[in-house]
Each structure stands twice: as structure tokens, then as C-alpha cells.
């Protein structure tokens, strides 16, 4: 399986800044067959960046989209509109869940809409600090996984990527902590157990699972060698070109 290195730019970089970044990174990295490099700019950047993109080196992801393809939904963009522009879409990021109140039902519809439109969903799941403290991590993971995948058939699960992002480890969270490889390994094991329950043992092993939460060049290697981890979802460090490139190089080496 490839290693996935996904940069989530969130609400950073306007079109000009994003274009300069893309220009620079495409000069710095080669076509790494075993490492899939993906960046997720703001929606407004997707069209111009798609024209500038060297798809042999880097792919685009959207950060969000609405689950209906068209209609009276003021302010939304659809997966149907993103078709052809992006290969991936981040869905259910903790900022969408906790700032924009997206629940598992809505997230499931978005996952289904992405697949319907030929876009691979990167389904984000993860517990908040108090849930971990109260021993609820396994239940939260199960609920978010069963909820988010409720509309995904056994035929389509191969299109899905899961990102385990403990919310307490995301760098923008107040008093963020660093997750240890053991903590990650335990939850990744739970995720595979749940996937096995829904889709069977073989498929459970084939779904890529990414880790996200304060990934930096200094810890990327350790996280990428956690059993069952197939890539990284990176926020803050993906905004710093040299750090993101460093993480890509680490992924290439670890592979």
C-alpha cells in the first residue's frame, strides 16, 4: 500500500500564496511512486491550482463539501462540482464536527456523496480529551466509524481512507498534547477491529489509516512506523514548505 501524506491547509493561503507554494513544492519533490502527496487548500484555490498541478507529483483534496449535488443550498459547494478538480475530500474533520456541528449522519451522507462523484473520502475520527479521560475512546471510535461509514457498501469501502485524529493532539486545540506511538497503535487496532466487524477481515487490512495530530518532521518517522498506520494528515506543519517536504522525504525513506 502507498503511504499517504496529506496537508490540510485549513483557512490559510489565498490563491496567490497557494499558487506560489505549489510552484515551489513541485520543484522540490519528485514523482514518488510509493508516496501519495496530497494538499487540501481552500475551496476557492482548487480551480486555479488544478490548472497548475503536476498530478504525477501531487494531488488535490477539498476540505469539505455538501452532500447534495445541486439545488437550493445557499453558500454550499457540491461534490459534483469538485469532480475532476480533486481526487480526495477530507470529511468529518474535528473542526467541522465541533465548530460547525456536523454529526455522524451528515458525515455519512457526505462520504456517500464523495464516492458517488468519484472522490475518495478521508473520513476523520477521534476522541476529545475528556472522552479519553473517561475511558470512552473505544466507544467514540466505534460510533464515529459505524456512523460515518453507514452508507458505504462493501464494494465501495476500498475508496475510503480513515484518518485517526485525537482532537487533544491537534496543534490548534488549546493545550494540545503529543500522542505517543503506543496510544496511536492501540486506537488503530480498534479501528481495524471495527472495520473487520463491518466489512470482513481482508478488507479491514486494506483500508488506509492515517494519523493526524501535531505531526512534525521530528516525529513523522516514529508515527509512520506505528503498526497499521499508512500515512499522515498534517495541519500546521503542512503550511511550512520545508517542514512538509521533510515529512514527504521521511515517508519515502521509511517506505
What is the DSSP-derived secondary structure letter of residue 227? T
Q: What's the closest the beta carbon of residue 201 comes to ligand PEP, in angstroms?
A: 29
Q: What's the closest the beta carbon of residue 206 comes to ligand PEP, in angstroms?
A: 23
Q: Which of 81, 93, 95, 127 is catalytic?
A: 93
Which of these, 161, 124, 159, 158, lies nearest to 141 by C-alpha position?
A: 124
Nearer to ligand PEP, 199 or 211 (CB): 211
Residues 111 and 119: their CA atoms lie apart, in Å, by 9
Residues 176 and 215: their CA atoms lie apart, in Å, by 12
The grid coordinates of residue 174 equal 488549546
Residues 81 and 65: their CA atoms lie apart, in Å, by 9
Nearer to ligand PEP, 209 or 234 (CB): 234
Residues 109 and 62: their CA atoms lie apart, in Å, by 16
Q: What's the closest the beta carbon of residue 196 comes to ligand PEP, in angstroms?
A: 26
Residues 225 and 180: their CA atoms lie apart, in Å, by 12
Nearer to ligand PEP, 93 or 109 (CB): 93
Q: What's the closest the beta carbon of residue 235 comes to ligand PEP, in angstroms?
A: 2
Q: What's the closest the beta carbon of residue 26 comes to ligand PEP, in angstroms?
A: 22
Nearer to ligand PEP, 35 or 169 (CB): 169
Which of these, 174, 177, 235, 240, lies nearest to 210 by C-alpha position?
A: 235
Which residues contact ligand PEP by CB under 6 A? 8, 165, 170-172, 212-215, 233-237
Round to the nearest angstrom and report the end-to-end CA distance of the chain.
10
Residue 101: active-site member: no
**DSSP-based three-state secondary structure for 244:** helix
Residue 23: active-site member: no
For cell 452532500, name the residue.
67
Nearer to ligand PEP, 148 or 235 (CB): 235
Q: Which of 36, 95, 127, 165 is catalytic?
A: 165
Which of these, 161, 156, 163, 165, lies nearest to 207 by C-alpha position?
A: 161
Known catalytic residues are 93, 165
Amino acid at each position: 500500500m502507498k503511504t499517504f501524506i496529506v496537508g490540510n491547509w485549513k483557512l490559510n493561503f489565498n490563491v496567490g500564496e497557494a499558487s506560489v507554494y505549489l510552484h515551489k513544492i513541485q520543484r522540490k519533490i519528485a514523482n514518488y511512486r510509493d508516496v501519495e502527496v496530497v494538499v487540501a487548500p481552500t475551496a476557492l484555490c482548487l480551480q486555479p491550482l488544478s490548472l497548475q498541478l503536476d498530478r504525477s507529483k501531487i494531488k488535490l483534496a477539498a476540505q469539505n463539501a455538501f452532500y447534495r449535488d445541486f439545488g437550493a443550498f445557499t453558500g454550499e459547494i457540491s461534490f459534483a462540482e469538485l469532480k475532476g478538480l480533486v481526487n480526495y475530500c477530507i470529511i468529518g474533520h474535528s473542526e467541522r464536527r465541533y465548530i460547525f456541528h456536523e454529526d455522524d449522519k451528515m458525515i455519512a451522507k457526505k462520504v456517500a456523496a464523495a464516492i458517488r462523484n468519484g472522490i475518495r473520502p478521508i473520513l476523520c475520527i477521534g476522541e476529545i480529551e475528556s472522552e479519553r479521560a473517561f475511558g470512552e475512546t473505544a466507544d467514540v471510535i466505534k460510533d464515529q466509524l459505524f456512523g460515518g461509514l453507514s452508507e458505504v457498501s462493501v464494494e465501495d469501502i476500498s475508496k475510503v481512507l480513515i484518518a485517526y485524529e485525537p482532537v487533544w493532539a491537534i496543534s490548534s486545540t488549546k493545550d494540545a498534547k503529543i500522542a505517543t506511538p503506543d496510544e496511536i497503535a492501540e486506537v488503530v487496532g480498534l479501528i481495524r477491529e471495527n472495520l473487520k466487524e463491518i466489512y470482513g477481515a481482508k478488507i479491514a487490512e486494506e483500508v488506509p489509516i492515517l494519523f493526524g495530530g501535531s505531526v512534525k518532521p521530528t516525529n513523522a518517522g516514529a508515527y509512520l512506523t506505528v503498526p497499521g498506520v499508512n500515512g499522515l494528515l498534517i495541519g500546521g506543519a503542512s503550511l511550512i514548505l520545508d517542514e512538509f517536504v521533510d515529512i514527504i522525504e521521511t515517508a519515502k525513506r521509511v517506505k
